[in-house]
Amino acid sequence: MAHSPPILLISLDATRYDYLLNQAGEWRWPFFKHFAEKAHIFQNAYTPSPWTPPAHASMFTGLSPSEHGVVEGQLWLKNHHQTLARFLNKKGYRTIGISSNPLLGPITNLNKDFDTFYELWKNPKRVQEAAQFLRFDDIILDSHDVLQKAIDILSNELSTGSAKPIFLFLQLIGPHNPYRPTARALANQVGLYTDEVWDRVKRINQDWRYFYAEGWVLSDTETSLLRQLYLAELDDLNAGLERLFTLPWVERAAQEGHIIITADHGEMLGEKGHIHHLFNLYEPLIHIPLLWKTPGQSKAVSHEEFIQHQHLFPLIRRLLAGETEALSEWQFSAPEFATASLLNPVEILQGLDGIDDTAGDPFRHDQIARVGNDRKVIWHSNGHHECFDFSVNHQEVENQFSLNGTNDAELLDGCEREFRQFNQNTVQVEKMMFNLGYF
Q: What is the DSSP string of 268-289?
A: EESGGG-EET-S---HHHHEE-
Say if pTM beats, i.e. exceeds, 0.85.
yes
Nearest to 263 by CA among 148, 378, 340, 170: 170
Considering the domain architecture, whether residues 150 and 259 belong to the same structural domain is answered as yes
336: in domain: no
* Residue 127: predicted pLDDT: 41
User: Cα 63 from chain centroid?
Assistant: 15
Considering the domain architecture, whether residues 134 and 209 belong to the same structural domain is answered as yes
Give the SS3 label for residue 349: strand
* Residue 403: predicted pLDDT: 78
Cα gap 138→96, rounded to integer Å: 26
Give the SS3 label for residue 27: strand
Averages of pLDDT over runs of 10 residues in the chain (439 residues) are 85 98 96 98 97 96 91 87 97 96 92 95 52 50 78 86 90 92 97 98 91 92 98 96 96 97 98 93 98 98 96 97 94 80 84 52 80 90 89 88 78 79 49 47
Considering the domain architecture, whether residues 296 and 379 belong to the same structural domain is answered as no
* Residue 431: predicted pLDDT: 53
Considering the domain architecture, whether residues 143 and 255 belong to the same structural domain is answered as yes
Give tens-digit pLDDT for 26-45. 999 999 999 999 999 999 99
Indicate the helix (H) or strand (E) that contains 154.
helix 143-157
Number of domains in the chain: 2
Cα gap 104→89, rounded to integer Å: 20
Give the domain range for residue 93.
7-320
Cα gap 218→276, rounded to integer Å: 13
Considering the domain architecture, whether residues 280 and 385 belong to the same structural domain is answered as no
Nearby residues of 379 by Cβ (< 8 Å), 6 or more positions away: 367, 368, 369, 370, 385, 411, 412, 415, 416, 419
Cα gap 314→27, rounded to integer Å: 28
Strand partners, 155: none
- For residue 67, how many other CB atoms are within 10 A of its CB? 14
Cα gap 51→280, rounded to integer Å: 11
* Residue 393: predicted pLDDT: 82
- For residue 98, how many other CB atoms are within 10 A of its CB? 23
Give the SS3 label for residue 422: coil
Considering the domain architecture, whether residues 275 and 414 belong to the same structural domain is answered as no
The answer to whether 159 and 249 are in contact (CB under 8 A) is no
340: in domain: no
Tell which of 320, 335, 357 closes a domain.
Answer: 320
* Residue 141: predicted pLDDT: 66
Cα gap 97→14, rounded to integer Å: 19
Considering the domain architecture, whether residues 174 and 36 belong to the same structural domain is answered as yes
What is the CATH number for 33? 3.40.720.10
* Residue 10: predicted pLDDT: 98
| Rounded (to 5) percent helix, strand, coil in the chain | 35, 20, 45
338: in domain: no
357: in domain: yes
Considering the domain architecture, whether residues 171 and 299 belong to the same structural domain is answered as yes
Considering the domain architecture, whether residues 279 and 366 belong to the same structural domain is answered as no
Give tens-digit pLDDT for 213-235. 888 999 999 999 999 999 999 99
Considering the domain architecture, whether residues 93 and 168 belong to the same structural domain is answered as yes
The region that residue 360 occupies, defined by phi over 0 for left and psi between -120 and 50 for alpha, beta otherwise, is left
* Residue 307: predicted pLDDT: 97
Considering the domain architecture, whether residues 305 and 412 belong to the same structural domain is answered as no
